[in-house]
Amino acid sequence: MHESIILYLSLVVVIMFLVMLAQRIKIAYPIVLVLGGLVLSLIPGLPSVEIDPQLIFLIFLPPLLYEAAWQTSWKDFWKWRRVIGSFAFIIVIFTSCVIAYVSQAVIPGFTLALGFLLGGIISPPDAVATSSILQNVKVPKRLITIAEGESLLNDASSLIVFRFALVAVASGSFVLTDAIGSFFLVIGMGFAIGLGIALIFYAILRWLPTTPSIDTILTFVAPYAMYIAAEEFHFSGVIAVVTGGLFLSRNQHSILSHLSRIQGINVWSTVGFVLNGIVFMLIGLELPVIIQGLGDASLGQAIKYGLIISAVVIITRIASTVGASIFTVFISRFIKTADSSPGYRMPIIFGWAGMRGVVSLASALSIPLLLDNGQPFPQRNMILFITFVVILVTLVFQGLTLPAVARWMQAEDRDYEIPAQEQDVIIRRKLAKASLDLINEKYADEIDSHELLRGLKFKLESDLGFLDHVKEFEEAKASHAYITRYQDINKDLLAHKRQILHEFNKKETYEEEIIRQHLAQIDLEEEKVRQQFLHLE
C-alpha cells in the first residue's frame, strides 16, 4: 500500500517537472508527458504500470468530460452544431468502416467484426488531447469550438460501435437494424438521464442554502452521478455527462454565487491539470505491458500494421474534413449554414488536429481476455498494440507538426469582424459608462451626502478615462513595451503593498486574518490588471 502511494506521488512530481519542461521548450504538455512516460518505461528496475480500463472510464473520464463541457461556449456550440454532430457521429462511423475494411485486407486473421472493433477504438479524436494541444496553436476560434465539441461527443458514438463490434466478435452475428435502433436509444436515453440529473443538481444549487465549498463538492459529484446512472442502464454515460455539463454551465450564473464560481474555477483547474497529466503519462508507461502482450507475434510486423492503420486514420480524417467542406458548399444552396464557403485551409488544419488519446487505449484494454466459450479473444494483443501506435503517431507526430500546418495554411478568423482586444475595450467601456449613468440617474441626490458612493463614482469616471486612453494608444498601435511598462509599475506598487501588510502582521495589535483578507484582495487586483491587458499583449 505504501509503495503504491509513493509510486503515484512520485509520478505526480515527475508530471509537474515535465509540464514545466514543456512550457520552457514551448511544446504542448500532453506530448512531453507521453514521451516522458515512454522514457520512464524503458528504465530497468522501475515497476510496470498497467492501466485499469474501469479506472479510466469511471474515475478519469467523467470529470475530464465535465470540465471540458463546462468550459465550452454553448453559443458557439449551437452555432456549429451541424458540423460538430456530423463529425461526432457520422464521421466516426465512417472512419470505423474504413478501418474495418482496410484492417481486414491488410492484417492476416482479421475479420470484418474485428476490424469494426478496432475502428470503434481508434476512430474518435481525444477530448483532452485536442483541447490541450489546440491551446498552444494560433487557429481561428471556430476551429477550436468545432474540435472541442466533436471530441466531447465522439467518445459516445465510438464506444457504441465498440460495444456492437464486441458482441459481433463474441457471438459471430450482427443485425444492422437492431444496431441502429440500439444506437439511437443509447444516445437518446443518455441525453435524457444527463439532463434529468442536471435538473436535480440545478434545484439543489439554486434553492438550498449551500456554501461555496458545498457547491464545489456538488460539481464534482454531478459528473459521476450522470455517468454512473446512464451506464447502469447501459446507455451512454459520455452523452449524459456532456449534456448535464453543458446545461449546468449555461446556467452557472443563476445557480452559483460569485465566490462559488471563483473557488470552483480554481479547484477544477488544479484537479483537471493533475488528471490530464496522469492519463497522458500512463499512455507512455504502458509500452512494456503492451509489448509483452504481443507474445509470439512479430514486433516488426505489428509496428508495420500500426503505421499503416495510423496513415489510414490520418488520411480518412483529412478526406472527411475536406469532403465536409465541399458538401457544405453544395448543401448551402438549399438550407442556411453557418458558413456557406468554408474553403480548404481550415478543413485541412481541422483534419490534422485529430489526436487520439487515453480513451482509445482504455477501450482496447477493456477487450476481454477470453470469449464466452473460454477461447482466447482473437487478435486482442495485436489490436492493443495497433491502438498504442495510432495514439503515439497522432499525438506526437501530428501534435508536434500542427503549429507548422496552421502557420502554413494561414487560416483567417472570419467569425468576428471586431478584433478581440477591441471587443474587450468596448465591453469594459460600456460597463463603466452604464454604471456611471445609473449612479447619476438613480442615486444623484445621495452623491453629496454619501462619501463611499462619491468615491465609487470617481472610480468609475477614472476607469472610463483610462479606457478611453487605452483605445487611443491601441488605435495608434502602441508598442508591447508600453503595456509591459505599465504592468511592471503596477506589480511594483502591489508588491510594496504586500510588504507593508507583512510589516503590519509582525505587530501584536493587528489580527492576521484581516491581513490575509487584504493580501487576497491584492492578489485579485493583480489578476484583474493581468486580465485587462490579456488581449493587448
pLDDT of residue 361: 82
pLDDT of residue 98: 94
CA distances from 440 to 38, 273, 432, 435 (A): 64, 46, 12, 9
Query: For the structural domain made of 50-409, what CATH number should be given?
Result: 1.20.1530.20
Buried b (16+ CB within 10 A) or exposed e, 36-47: bbbebbeeeeee
pLDDT of residue 476: 44
Enumerate the β-bridge partners of residue 370: 376
pLDDT of residue 418: 66
Q: Where are the domains of the chain?
A: 50-409, 420-532
Helix (H) or strand (E) holding 359: helix 358-365
Between CA 334 and CA 347 the distance in angstroms is: 22
Between CA 243 and CA 189 the distance in angstroms is: 11
pLDDT of residue 415: 67
pLDDT of residue 3: 65
CA distances from 449 to 92, 443, 456 (A): 67, 11, 13
Between CA 124 and CA 96 the distance in angstroms is: 9
Q: What is the pLDDT of residues 133-167, one digit of tens each?
A: 777 777 888 888 888 888 888 877 888 888 888 87
SS3 content of the chain, % helix, strand, coil (to 5): 80, 0, 20
pLDDT of residue 316: 95
Between CA 51 and CA 81 the distance in angstroms is: 34
**Cα radius of gyration (the chain):** 26
Instruction: Tell which residue, 535, 393, 473, has the closest CA to residue 35.
Output: 393
CA distances from 103 to 165, 215, 379, 464 (A): 14, 48, 12, 64
- Residues in the chain predicted with pLDDT less than 70, given as ranges, are 1-4, 127, 172-179, 295-296, 414-421, 424, 469-483, 532-537
pLDDT of residue 477: 47
